[in-house]
Amino acid sequence: MLTLLSTSIFTKTNSRAPTKEASQIFKAADFKKTKHGWAGNCEQGEMIIYKGLNGDGRKDAVIQDSSTMCYCNTGVGYHIISQQKDGKWKQLFSDSGIPTFLKTKGKDGWLDIENGGPGFCFAIYRWNGKEYIINRYEYEGKACEL
């Protein structure tokens, strides 16, 4: 399981994209450049992952922003951005919560995502070739029900 959690919420994994690509990535997630960084609808965004996530040879990125006003008691949201075959960047998914990438996979090699936060039963999202959709619910690797 590729876990993004640490004592500081996320572990940064090779999160330095070249400046031009970083700009394209943040824009694909609908963030705007400000004098303080990249601002989303909630707060300043931070790229926490910049690497290939699905084995297609292209880079992907995960942007995190934090705000209890936007994300309630979880306080965190994330955006998954993928480089397309034509080189452009596209947002694939965004949600409130703390993403943990699992070993199980959906279509095209995309890792399943446990969408964590407060509680004891979390949605597991799976890529179906067009979008991430809820596939099941788990807690500590075991099936659960909401």
The pTM for the full model equals 0.83
Q: 72: Cβ–Cβ under 8 A, 6 or more apart, which residues? A: 96
pLDDT, position 11: 42
- Does the CA dihedral 97-33-23-38 come out positive or negative? negative
Q: Where are the domains of the chain?
A: 2-143
The encoded tokens of residue 7 equal 């004592």
> What gap in Å lies between CA 121 and CA 146, rounded to an integer?
6
CA angle 80, 12, 41 (to 5 degrees): 45
Percent above pLDDT 70 for the chain? 90
62/43: higher pLDDT: 62
Instruction: Count Cβ atoms below 10 Å from residue 36 Cβ, excluding itself.
Output: 8
The encoded tokens of residue 94 equal 């965004």
Phi/psi at 23 (nearest 5 deg)? Answer: -60, -45
Give yes or no for residue 4 having a pLDDT over 60.
no
The encoded tokens of residue 4 equal 């993004």
pLDDT, position 21: 92
